[in-house]
Structure 1
Amino acid sequence: MEFRGSSVYDQSDFFTNYMKRRNREDSPNNAIEGPIMSELVGNIQNKTILDLGCGDASFGKKLLQLGASHYTGVEGSEQMVEAARSNLLEIDATIFNETMESYDYPRESYDLVISRFAIHYVSDINRLFQNVYQTLKEDGRFVFSIQHPLTTSSFASKEAGDKRGSWIVDDYFLDGERKEPWINKVVVKYHRTIEQYFTALRQAGFTIQDLREGTPKREHFSSEDEFVRRQRIPVVLAFACRK
């Protein structure tokens, strides 16, 4: 059985194992992607924020503590929504149990739209980017991260085990579905080239201000071996854009 979008997070065994992996000190989320997203988001004082694929809303809680005026999370998984609402008790935040595709994007409502490691599960990024553009206020910003296209390109299944020692980069210019074994399940992701993301953003009307490929920094790793391993291939691609 294969899982699309956020549906896999409603499998109890997967959810438990994912949260353990996600919260590892040297996970790519914490050691690479998190610091980049925090830097690209910048000053969020008094900003209204929309988070697409918000997960347990840990990042939203941090942003509110740093001065955001309101946080709205969109999450398709019921288990993740429950975790997010629990994380944000007595905080000025709203969580919608919707997917990025089904959410009703209100016009010119947010100063900042963010998404972390979720857009590679969306089949139609052109429609998504258009929705994000119209829901942003004038001069609003869109900051998001995805799994780097070099790691989604190959149709070959990744080798078993938590720590990959080699990578296959193949079929890069063949975009579309990729079925990947992950934590004892099969999830569907969508591979696109960096150029395709860039073009879709430009066509939606965005100005691309920054692009990062997740260069590892030693100070974010507790393990020297893991730092060295993460220098071999990029696992993160992040964009910062303005309306």
Structure 2
Amino acid sequence: MKQNKYDEDAFFQNYSKMERSVKGLDAAGEWHELQTLLPDLKDKRVLDLGCGFGWHCRYAREQQANSVIGIDLSEKMLQRARELTTDPQIEYRQMAVEDIHFEQNQFDVVVSSLALHYIEHLHDVYRKIHHCLVSGGTFVLSVEHPIFTARAEQDWHYGAQGEKLHWPVDHYHEEGQRIANFLNHDVVKYHRTMAAYLNELIRAGFVIEQMAESRPSLEMIEQVPGMSDENRRPMFLMMAAIKG
């Protein structure tokens, strides 16, 4: 199923108001960790899967990447990305992540940020990414953490006074579709265990190089109210893998 909530006017307007949508990578709580998983991008050919507003595409060029292709299913997301981009070495293409068909060895680095938990058949996407990467090329991805996606509610358990008591985890090993409320809209996501994410990468021919589980920086904890709660459970899982 290829879901395109971002072209719905109300959903897109809500998304556009998020802090990370307005201020970019510096407002993304996981960026300070995801950034460390990226290889040296100088002179690299980069593919961004689910590029959204193009923040990672522009960052890659700031790091002197040779060329960048960003793909996204949403016409509205790509329109905003093009409005924010003046670099001719960045190309944006409208397509679903599931539909990519690039040449063998076309890219040195593939990046996907918070897009793959919307994909039902992830093994097919991993296989296509492996195909288009050069030998030794790097695939860096972030997804919503399995602890976060296990329950469709994706919310804290609250006390009588509205205090956050704990983050409940249930039905963890029951992989599959979850209907979650995001930005006041029902959104289809797919829950996978930690083992499933790792094993599907390995089966596709990747070697896991590094992993990280999101936690806010000290700076964000000091500046953003309530951010310290993000230390109580990881919201995002990040991995760097090499084409073996």
TM-score by shorter chain over 0.5 = yes
Cα deviation 1:110-146 (Å, max 9, x = unaligned): 0000000000000011111111001101110000000
**1:12 is the counterpart of 2:38:** no
Residue 27 of structure 1 and its aligned partner are, at CA, apart by: 9.9
Matched residue, 1:36: 33
User: Could you say what secondary structure the match of 1:23 adopts?
Assistant: helix
Write the letter of the residue equivalent to 1:82.
Answer: Q
With structure 2 as the length reference, what TM-score do the two structures score? 0.89
Q: Compared with structure 1, are the counterparts of its residues 63 and 157 closer, same or farther at alpha carbon in structure 2 (3 Å cutoff)? A: closer
Distance 1:18 1:222 in 2: 24
Q: Compared with structure 1, are the counterparts of its residues 29 and 13 closer, same or farther at alpha carbon in structure 2 (3 Å cutoff)? A: farther
The answer to whether the 8 Å contact 1:158/1:181 transfers is no
1:58-137 equivalences under 5 Å are 58-137=55-134
- Pick 1 or 2: higher relative contact order, CA cutoff 8 A, min separation 6: 1
**1:187 is the counterpart of 2:184:** no
Unpaired stretches in structure 2, ≥5 consecutive residues: 157-161
Q: After the TM superposition, which of the residue ranges 4-13 and 121-130 deviates more from structure 2?
A: 4-13
The answer to whether the 8 Å contact 2:20/2:28 transfers is no
Residue 38 of structure 1 and its aligned partner are, at CA, apart by: 1.4
Matched residue, 2:159: none
Matched residue, 1:213: 213
Distance 2:6 2:146 in 1: 22
Matched residue, 1:241: 241
Cα deviation 1:30-76 (Å, max 9, x = unaligned): 34321122111132101110000000102211210221110000100
User: Could you say what secondary structure the match of 1:56 adopts?
Assistant: coil
Distance 2:108 2:154 in 1: 39
With structure 1 as the length reference, what TM-score do the two structures score? 0.90
The answer to whether the 8 Å contact 2:175/2:191 transfers is yes
Write the letter of the residue equivalent to 2:200.
Answer: A
User: Could you say what secondary structure the match of 2:137 adopts?
Assistant: strand
Q: Percent identity?
A: 28
Unpaired stretches in structure 1, ≥5 consecutive residues: none
